[in-house]
Amino acid sequence: MYNARAHIDPEGLYQSEGLREFEIIAVFALEWRNPNVLARTRDAIEIRFPDVVDADRELLVLITPNDMELRLPDMAWTTGYGGPTPTSELWKRTPVSALTKSDVHGWLRKLDTSMKRRLRRCKYCEKRFIAARMHGRACHGCSSKHEGVVY
C-alpha cells in the first residue's frame, strides 16, 4: 500500500504501525475521487468530495470505527429565514465491517447519482441546484435578482 497514512492522517496525529479498519475504508474512498476537504479526529474521518459539475456542491462521507455515513448537501437557516449555512443530510449509513473497495466505490457512485437526481433547474439561469438552494423554481441568486426575495 502506498503511504496511505499521509492521506488519511495528514497532520500525523494518530500514528500506528498499520491501518485501522475504518482508516482502510477512508483510503478506498479517497481512491474514488480527490476530496475538497479531509478532516480527522482519532475516531472519525470526514471527507467532502466535490461534485464534478459544481465543486461547491459537496458529497460528504463520515467514517467512524462503526459506520460509513454517506451524506448529501443541504442548507440550514441559522436565523429563521436567513443566515444560510451549508450542512448535510444523511442518505445512507452502512457498517464498515466487511466493506470492500468495490462496495465503497459502489456506494459513492450511488450517492453521486442520488444527488444529481435531486437537483432542480433554475428557470432564470438554468443552472442546477439542490432543493435547499431554490426558492420555488428560481435559485436563491436569481430569486433575489428577479423576484426581490431577500435572504
Interface positions with Zn ion (CB under 5 A): 122, 124-125, 139, 142
Shortest CB 122 distance to Zn ion, Å: 3
Cell numbers 458529497 correspond to 59
For the CB of residue 26, give the shortest distance to Zn ion in the complex, in Å: 35
Closer residue to Zn ion (CB): 62 or 122: 122
The nearer residue to Zn ion, 49 or 129, going by C-beta atoms, is: 129
CB of 84 to Zn ion, least distance (A): 15
The C-alpha atoms of residue 15 and residue 19 are separated, in whole angstroms, by 9
Using the minimum distance from each CB to Zn ion, give the nearer residue, 65 or 86.
86
Closest approach of Zn ion to the CB of residue 82, in Å: 19
Min dist CB 6 to Zn ion, Å, is 40
User: What are 106's three cell numbers?
Assistant: 459502489
Q: What is the 3-state secondary structure (H, E, C) of the chain?
A: CCCHHHHHCCCCCCCCCCCCHHHHHHHHHHCCCCCCEEEEECCEEEEEEECCCCCCCEEEEEECCCEEEEEEEEEEECCCCCCEEEEEEEEEEEECCCCCHHHHHHHHHHHHHHHHHHCEECCCCCCEECHHHEECCEEHHHHHHHHCCCC
- Residue closer to Zn ion (CB basis): 60 or 138: 138
* C-beta closer to Zn ion: residue 59 or 139: 139
